[in-house]
Amino acid sequence: MYEEQWVSTANLADQSDMELDVKPFSQRRRVQPSELTGSWKVFEMSATPIYGEDNTTETTQGMPYVYLCTENLKKRSLPENPVYFGEEELLDMQDATVLWLPGGVTSYVDVNKDGTLCIGVGWYSDGGVNLVMERDYEADGKLKEVRSKSEMKRRWTNPPPM
C-alpha cells in the first residue's frame, strides 16, 4: 500500500509543472545550529490562564486567559558564544535539550531556575521562517503560559545597531 501511494504521488508530480519534495520525512535534511545564527524578527502571542480563587480547576477548558502580543528582534549565535544572545530568555535556555529532527523540526525541553518546565516544538522552513509553539508548566504541573511565535530571519546585510 505504501508503494502504491508513493507511485501515485510521483505520477501527480509528473503531471504538473511544480516540483514536489516526495522524500519520506525521515530522509529530509536536518537544520544545523549554524544556520540559525543572526538576527530574527520575532512575532509572539502568549496566553496566560487565570485560575480561580479555589485553584482547583483540573481542566483549562473554558478558563479565561490574558493574551499578550509582542514583536522584537532576537540575535542568535552558536551556543559556545553566548555573549551575543543578549536576551534573558535565551540565556535561560542555554541548558535546554534540543532534538533536531528531519525536515527542519526541532523540539526542546528546559527547566528554568524557578522550576518552570518549558516544552517547545518548532519548524524551520528553507525560506528563513521558524514557527514555534511552547507551553510552560509550574512545578506543581499547572499550565503557566502558552506561546506561539513566528520568527523571520533578517535578510539585509547591515547588522542592527547595538
Once rounded to an integer, what is the mean pLDDT over residues 108-126?
Answer: 90
Q: pLDDT tens digit string along 73-91?
A: 888 777 565 444 444 444 4
Is the pLDDT score of 17 beyond 80?
A: no
Is the pLDDT score of 93 beyond 70?
A: no
Once rounded to an integer, what is the mean pLDDT over residues 11-21?
Answer: 57
Enumerate domains of the chain plus CATH numbers: 31-53+63-153 (2.40.128.20)
Confidence of residue 112 (pLDDT cuts 50, 70, 90): confident
The predicted pLDDT at position 52 comes to 78
Q: pLDDT tens digit string along 34-43?
A: 777 888 899 9
The predicted pLDDT at position 90 comes to 46
Looking at every residue in the chain, the average pLDDT score rounds to 76
Spatial CA neighbour of 51 closest among 43, 42, 60: 60
Confidence of residue 157 (pLDDT cuts 50, 70, 90): low
Spatial CA neighbour of 132 closest among 142, 143, 121: 121
Q: pLDDT tens digit string along 47-58?
A: 999 887 765 555
Confidence of residue 18 (pLDDT cuts 50, 70, 90): low
Torsion sign, CA atoms 95, 101, 105, 109:
negative
Q: pLDDT tens digit string along 61-77?
A: 678 999 999 999 888 77
Rounded to whole angstroms, how far apart are CA atoms 138 and 56? 15
Per DSSP, 62 falls in state T
